[in-house]
Chains A and B, each alone.
Chain A
Amino acid sequence: MPRRIAIVEDEIAIRHNFEDALRRQGYLVSGYSNRRSALEAFRRRLPDLVIIDVGLGDDVEGGFELCRELRSMSRVLPIMFLTARDSDPDVISGLRLGADDYLTKDISLPHLMARIVVLFRRVEMLSGDRSTDSWLERGALRLSAERMEVQWQGQAVPLTVTELWIVHSLVGQPGHVRSRQQLMDDANILVDDQTITSHVKRIRRKFKDIDDAFDKLDTVYGAGYRWNSSAG
């Protein structure tokens, strides 16, 4: 049975383009241009994934509001922001509202498809059989790409998909510097350096929430970031 994806986007051309692209991938797609009509539909039945634009016409922060309401309706429903607003405060508030990913409209359709696949896989992993898990271990860090899960000292670190890919890229070659461009490629996103910087900052903060002494994620100025492989 095909998965059902809802797109809430006020820009008709974009919405139709995305709908077409997704349908080509075999998804059932329904589009909404504003919060009210989307909510009405969601109350009748929740889709398997919701892609929301932050600004919905005159409703400048309508996307955030919709995300909040959806999260109250379902705690596990995957929600993804796809927006032109790429400033740090927007990304932070979007993720804080419980969105699973925050993408900018710069993203190419193939990348978007890849992210959607990853997201669905994560949902499957959470609900499905865990026996096939393959865990990547680096000291206190355990990372499972299939389960889309990261643990530090045995505790799960609540990373978004983008963040997870960044961590995955760094721990893949510990001690080696990964430039921002490399991280971007690995995370399948096309953003500027600063957004990578803020992603890394958030990752560091999330680890520090668990372990205040966390210092594995080094900044190499002018070059990029490095997973510090030294013991301790």
Chain B
Amino acid sequence: MRLRNQLLALSLLTLLLPLSGWKLVQELENFLRESEENTLLASAQTVAQILPLEYQSELRLARGRVLPLRQFSTDLILDGYITDWPEADQNITFGSPAGGLKLDLLAGRYQTHFYLALKVSDPGSIKATTVNTGTSDIGQRAGIMLYVQSKRGQHSYMISTEAPGPLTVNSQGGSGTRLGAAWVDDANGYTVELSLPGDVERISIGAVAPAFTLPGISSERYAGTLNGRQQGEWLELLARGDGVSQWLSKVVPGKSRAWLVQADGWVVADSGPLRADFSSELTWAQRMIYQAVADSRMPLREDPPVWPVRFETNTIAAALEGSNGSLWNRDADSASVYNLVVVPVYSGSNLSEGVSNQAIGAVVLETRSEGLLLTTNRALGRFSLIALLLVVVLAAGLWLFASRLSHRVQKLSGAVSRAMDDTGKVSDLPLTTSADELGELARNTEKLLKAVADYTGYLQKLAGRLSHELKTPIAITRSSLENLASEDLDPSARQYLARAREGLDRQAAIVSAMSEAQRLEGSVRTADWETINLGEMLSHSIDAYRSVNPARTFNLNLPVDNCELHCAPDLIAQALDKLIDNAVSLSAPECEIDILLRQEADNCLITVRNTGTLLPDVLHDQLFDSLVSLRENRGSGKHLGLGLHIVRLVAEAHGGLVSARNLPDDKGVEFTIYLPVT
């Protein structure tokens, strides 16, 4: 992993900052919500406690003995269809003792009109209208028995028809008001809508159907509060109390809505919908942030009816058992959250007195807060933004710093590796003026490289110096031996003398070879430069080599247009000598030696190619260094590894270079001198 990526990864740790900020904000949000909840609970408790006694009476009605009235906003059309009833699924259900027959009962009010809706289902039985068609005995008909109690007395009605549609129902005995109704058949039974006089106080109602006449069993079936077809228990009509609603809307805090619910969950009073002009002050970005911060486990809020009829949630049920409840909801696409608290209402409205009492109802209070946290503490939102920005800036800064550091290290590393390739020539390293650790490293590396270069230079000059120092002792030995030769010696002494001179000649040759490279460096400076035709020069040279080595085959391959080159021909001839000498001595006598001249781009290339001993891979780099010989047999003495060094010196004197490689398929070796034309 690169340095800058490492640092970038490290900089990711700074993400902990906004993370912690986010956690903090979340905690704070929870805290704020809790306190808001407590406030709301306190308000609800207050409302529950100060509920005036006169309103409590409406809650005292026994459970299951009330018929709650919906509040219609428009007058109802009596058509037998209950789809226009608000919350039509909230109803009072009765079933017949043997099952089968079922009655769903709904009641509502518009101004002074009362309405009932009755949905009777009797699956598997003969349709009520069909039954009615088949009998004229009122005691055998199917339909709905209704007993009504009003200030004007008690009346009973039998609602039954032989055909669906609007109908008018007369009271039994004829003294009661005539009721308007509508009957609709459906798959399992029938639905009836019924208009009642405005002064009705309570009713006793039930669906009746003739008994199955199965062998041995015959019992009339009925579902409702009736006792058989006779009047049974009464259902008190529970109208939404306008008084208590107004009272509620006065006592509840602003921005909240309160309901008073009866023990069955039916809404007795409603302070009215929240103000609709609650306009959002949040931008979409703030909303996004809030939704990220807010507890996503909070349930989504379902769209409630404008005028709720009944609360049936567990929270309400728990409250009616005597414990306070609280519920949070959030809006799916805004930053709004809703808090609903439920507080039980006890008879007497006094907690200390009513602890052991059964709750007679509950106060439900709901508030809406928009971006609770953000509206109460915008600074936190801003902090999150700044923290995020800081992280980005910090990460970018770290990345840039790391990139620069990495770039510097790379520069230094590149310069060092170049300096090492450059056979001891130390070019100036970058960063040596930097004050930091990298600068120190660069300075120390420069020192090291200089020491290496000094040492390399020392080694390169060693051969020359050594040969110079050896010349004098050789001269002493030689002159001594020659003096000795002029003495009167016996034959055996002469033999030893001859051997000594032979050895000395070899020593002298070695010393001479050793100083050759150094002398060449001198002659490079004094060489004559002229423009010559390389091809011509090569063909002359090859002729000479052929005459010197008549047994060998030399192939010369010249380009069509011979290379004109400004060069020092003496030096080039000397380099060529060395390469040819190499090729001749390192290949078998039958091997051919190819000499190629070609021009490539701005270079003249002289290539000497021969079969024979391959170059070992290990010494490739040092091949052209002084005193490196790849010959396995060094016994011949004259090969000190200076030949290729001289070739390199010559190539470098011409601004060129020299390369060596093994030919593919072990065909031999190839040396190439590159000479720039310019």
A interacts with B: yes
List chain A positions with a Cβ less than 8 A from chain B. 11, 13-14, 17-18, 20-21, 24, 84-89, 104-106, 108-110, 177, 190, 192-194, 197-198, 201, 219-224
User: Is the pair B570, A105 in contact by a Cβ cutoff of 8 Å?
Assistant: no
Residues A221 and B540 in contact in the complex (CB < 8 Å), given A194-B523, A197-B570: yes
Please name all residues of chain A whose beta carbon is closer than 8 Å to the beta carbon of B486 when the two chains form the complex.
21, 24
A113 to B573, CA, bound (A): 34
User: Is the pair A86, B519 in contact by a Cβ cutoff of 8 Å?
Assistant: yes
Residues A105 and B544 in contact in the complex (CB < 8 Å), given A87-B522, A88-B519: no
A201 to B474, CA, bound (A): 29
Residue of A at shortest CB range from B480?
A17
User: Is the pair B475, A222 in contact by a Cβ cutoff of 8 Å?
Assistant: no
With A192-B519, A219-B570, A222-B543 given, can you name 7 additional A-B contacts, CB distance below 8 Å? A11-B476, A84-B471, A105-B474, A106-B475, A197-B570, A198-B523, A222-B577
User: Is the pair A221, B471 in contact by a Cβ cutoff of 8 Å?
Assistant: no
Please name all residues of chain B whose beta carbon is closer than 8 Å to the beta carbon of A13 when the two chains form the complex.
476, 479-480
User: Is the pair A88, B471 in contact by a Cβ cutoff of 8 Å?
Assistant: no
Identify 7 residue pairs between A and B in the complex whose beta-carbon atoms are under 8 Å apart, listed by A's number.
A17-B479, A20-B483, A21-B482, A84-B475, A88-B522, A219-B573, A224-B544
Within 8 A of A (CB), among B514-560: 515-516, 518-520, 522-523, 526, 528, 537, 540-545, 547-548
A194 to B646, CA, bound (A): 12
Cβ-defined partner of B516 (8 Å) among A194, A198, A221: A194
User: Is the pair A222, B541 in contact by a Cβ cutoff of 8 Å?
Assistant: yes
Residues A87 and B569 in contact in the complex (CB < 8 Å), given A14-B479, A105-B471: no
Q: Smallest distance from the beta carbon of B108 to chain A beta carbons, Å?
A: 127
User: Is the pair A221, B512 in contact by a Cβ cutoff of 8 Å?
Assistant: no
Please name all residues of chain B whose beta carbon is closer than 8 Å to the beta carbon of A224 when the two chains form the complex.
544
Q: Closest 10 interchain pairs by CB?
A: A223-B544, A222-B541, A17-B479, A105-B475, A222-B544, A84-B471, A221-B573, A109-B482, A13-B476, A221-B541
Please name all residues of chain B whose beta carbon is closer than 8 Å to the beta carbon of A223 when the two chains form the complex.
540-541, 543-544, 547-548
Residues A21 and B479 in contact in the complex (CB < 8 Å), given A105-B472, A220-B544: yes
B418 interfacial contact with A, CB 8 Å: no
User: Is the pair A18, B479 in contact by a Cβ cutoff of 8 Å?
Assistant: yes
A106 to B475, CA, bound (A): 6
A112 to B51, CA, bound (A): 145
User: Is the pair A221, B537 in contact by a Cβ cutoff of 8 Å?
Assistant: yes
Cβ-defined partner of B483 (8 Å) among A11, A106, A109: A109
Residues A222 and B576 in contact in the complex (CB < 8 Å), given A21-B482, A108-B482: yes
User: Is the pair B523, A88 in contact by a Cβ cutoff of 8 Å?
Assistant: yes
Q: Smallest distance from the beta carbon of A90 to chain B beta carbons, Å?
A: 9
Residue of B at shortest CB range from A82?
B475
B508 interfacial contact with A, CB 8 Å: yes
List chain B positions with a Cβ less than 8 A from chain A. 468, 471-472, 474-476, 478-480, 482-483, 486, 508, 512, 515-516, 518-520, 522-523, 526, 528, 537, 540-545, 547-548, 569-570, 573-574, 576-577, 580
Q: Smallest distance from the beta carbon of B165 to chain A beta carbons, Å?
A: 133
Residue of B at shortest CB range from A218?
B540
Tally of A-B Cβ pairs under 8 angstroms: 102
Residue of A at shortest CB range from B486?
A24
A110 to B522, CA, bound (A): 30
Please name all residues of chain B whose beta carbon is closer than 8 Å to the beta carbon of A20 when the two chains form the complex.
483
Q: Smallest distance from the beta carbon of B386 to chain A beta carbons, Å?
A: 77
User: Is the pair B482, A221 in contact by a Cβ cutoff of 8 Å?
Assistant: no
Please name all residues of chain A whose beta carbon is closer than 8 Å to the beta carbon of B512 when the two chains form the complex.
106, 192
Q: Smallest distance from the beta carbon of B497 to chain A beta carbons, Å?
A: 13
Residue of A at shortest CB range from B516?
A192
A222 to B543, CA, bound (A): 8
Q: Smallest distance from the beta carbon of A224 to chain B beta carbons, Å?
A: 8
Cβ-defined partner of B528 (8 Å) among A17, A109, A177, A201: A201
- Output the residue of A109, A177, A193, A221 with the most chain B CB within 10 A: A221
User: Is the pair B544, A221 in contact by a Cβ cutoff of 8 Å?
Assistant: yes
Please name all residues of chain B whose beta carbon is closer than 8 Å to the beta carbon of A177 when the two chains form the complex.
544
Cβ-defined partner of B540 (8 Å) among A87, A89, A109, A220: A220
Q: Smallest distance from the beta carbon of A62 to chain B beta carbons, Å?
A: 15
Q: Smallest distance from the beta carbon of B642 to chain A beta carbons, Å?
A: 12
Q: Smallest distance from the beta carbon of B498 to chain A beta carbons, Å?
A: 14
Please name all residues of chain B whose beta carbon is closer than 8 Å to the beta carbon of A14 when the two chains form the complex.
472, 475-476, 479
Q: Smallest distance from the beta carbon of A201 to chain B beta carbons, Å?
A: 7
A225 to B544, CA, bound (A): 11
A105 to B479, CA, bound (A): 9
A198 to B527, CA, bound (A): 9
Cβ-defined partner of B515 (8 Å) among A86, A110, A220: A86
A198 to B508, CA, bound (A): 20
Cβ-defined partner of B545 (8 Å) among A21, A86, A222: A222
Q: Smallest distance from the beta carbon of A55 to chain B beta carbons, Å?
A: 9
Please name all residues of chain B whose beta carbon is closer than 8 Å to the beta carbon of A201 when the two chains form the complex.
528
Please name all residues of chain B whose beta carbon is closer than 8 Å to the beta carbon of A198 when the two chains form the complex.
523, 526
Residues A21 and B483 in contact in the complex (CB < 8 Å), given A108-B478, A194-B516, A223-B543: yes
Please name all residues of chain A whose beta carbon is closer than 8 Å to the beta carbon of B537 when the two chains form the complex.
221
A104 to B470, CA, bound (A): 13
Q: Smallest distance from the beta carbon of B549 to chain A beta carbons, Å?
A: 11
A61 to B410, CA, bound (A): 51
Q: Smallest distance from the beta carbon of A229 to chain B beta carbons, Å?
A: 18
Cβ-defined partner of B520 (8 Å) among A86, A194, A221: A194
Q: Smallest distance from the beta carbon of A12 to chain B beta carbons, Å?
A: 9
Please name all residues of chain A whose beta carbon is closer than 8 Å to the beta carbon of B520 when the two chains form the complex.
194
- Output the residue of A11, A106, A177 with the most chain B CB within 10 A: A106
Please name all residues of chain B whose beta carbon is closer than 8 Å to the beta carbon of A84 when the two chains form the complex.
468, 471-472, 475
Please name all residues of chain B whose beta carbon is closer than 8 Å to the beta carbon of A220 when the two chains form the complex.
540, 544
Q: Smallest distance from the beta carbon of A207 to chain B beta carbons, Å?
A: 15
Residue of B at shortest CB range from A201?
B528
Q: Smallest distance from the beta carbon of B521 to chain A beta carbons, Å?
A: 10
Residues A89 and B522 in contact in the complex (CB < 8 Å), given A17-B479, A21-B479, A221-B537: yes
Cβ-defined partner of A222 (8 Å) among B474, B478, B540: B540
Please name all residues of chain A whose beta carbon is closer than 8 Å to the beta carbon of B547 when the two chains form the complex.
223
A90 to B513, CA, bound (A): 18
A220 to B543, CA, bound (A): 10
Q: Smallest distance from the beta carbon of B558 to chain A beta carbons, Å?
A: 15
A86 to B523, CA, bound (A): 12
User: Is the pair A106, B508 in contact by a Cβ cutoff of 8 Å?
Assistant: yes
Residues A221 and B476 in contact in the complex (CB < 8 Å), given A20-B483, A87-B519: no
Residue of A at shortest CB range from B520?
A194
A134 to B574, CA, bound (A): 38
User: Is the pair B472, A221 in contact by a Cβ cutoff of 8 Å?
Assistant: no
Please name all residues of chain A whose beta carbon is closer than 8 Å to the beta carbon of B522 when the two chains form the complex.
87-89
Residues A109 and B479 in contact in the complex (CB < 8 Å), given A11-B472, A89-B522: yes
A84 to B520, CA, bound (A): 17
Q: Smallest distance from the beta carbon of B479 to chain A beta carbons, Å?
A: 4
Q: Smallest distance from the beta carbon of A181 to chain B beta carbons, Å?
A: 10
Please name all residues of chain A whose beta carbon is closer than 8 Å to the beta carbon of B523 when the two chains form the complex.
88, 194, 197-198
A224 to B479, CA, bound (A): 30
A194 to B516, CA, bound (A): 8
Q: Smallest distance from the beta carbon of A38 to chain B beta carbons, Å?
A: 19
Q: Smallest distance from the beta carbon of B463 to chain A beta carbons, Å?
A: 14
- Output the residue of A89, A109, A222 with the most chain B CB within 10 A: A222
A105 to B515, CA, bound (A): 14
Please name all residues of chain B whose beta carbon is closer than 8 Å to the beta carbon of A108 when the two chains form the complex.
478, 482
A219 to B530, CA, bound (A): 13
Please name all residues of chain B whose beta carbon is closer than 8 Å to the beta carbon of A222 when the two chains form the complex.
540-545, 573, 576-577, 580
- Output the residue of B472, B543, B545 with the most chain A CB within 10 A: B472
A17 to B544, CA, bound (A): 41
Q: Smallest distance from the beta carbon of B506 to chain A beta carbons, Å?
A: 13
A11 to B580, CA, bound (A): 40
User: Is the pair A110, B569 in contact by a Cβ cutoff of 8 Å?
Assistant: no
Residue of B at shortest CB range from A85?
B468
